[in-house]
Amino acid sequence: MSDAGIVRRATCACGQLAVDCAGDPVRISVCHCLDCQRRSGSSFAAQARFPVDCLQVSGQSRQWTRVGDSGGEGRFNFCPECGSTVFYTTSADPGVIAVAIGGFADPAFPAPIYSVYEERKHNWVAITGDGIDHYG
């Protein structure tokens, strides 16, 4: 699935913080949990996970840590200038970095294959497509 020749760049709104991602993501998902809704300012958050060694971060970031329902930590990295969350890590998956799909500003970005916390999904939201796993 991975094509090491592909490099995608995600940035914050002002462009000061960027992450270059080599190859294809190992997971693309949307999360409907209430914390992701608050963090993203939307009805769900969409992210692509890449192996740590396939990313290069440039610019300054601030970090905010939150303990989730499962007890694991999420460390969210955002731009201190514009406030955009660009990437985050979790204690449950230390080998990857999740990058906010919106940071790529690419309508052709691959579709998600996982939709999680669907019991908290807004009733007007539908995550559709072939091969998507849906989790409550």
Residue-level pLDDT at 4: 60
pLDDT tens figures, 85-101: 999 999 888 899 999 99
Q: Which one of 2.160.10.10, 2.170.150.70, 1.10.10.10, 3.40.50.1820 gives the CATH number of domain 7-26+45-107?
A: 2.170.150.70
* Mean pLDDT calculated for residue range 1-11: 77
**Measured distance CA(63)–CA(107) in Å, rounded:** 27
Report pLDDT for 70: 74
Residue 133 has pLDDT above 90, yes or no: no
Collect all residues with Cβ–Cβ distance below 8 Å to 131 and sequence separation of at least 6: 113
Question: Which band of pLDDT confidence, cut at 50, 70 and 90, is reported for residue 67?
Answer: confident
Contacts of 45 (CB under 8 A, 6+ apart): 30, 31, 36, 37, 39, 100
Q: Where are the domains positioned within the chain?
A: 7-26+45-107
Q: What pLDDT was estimated at residue 1?
A: 35
Average pLDDT across the chain, whole number: 92
pLDDT at residue 7 in the model: 95
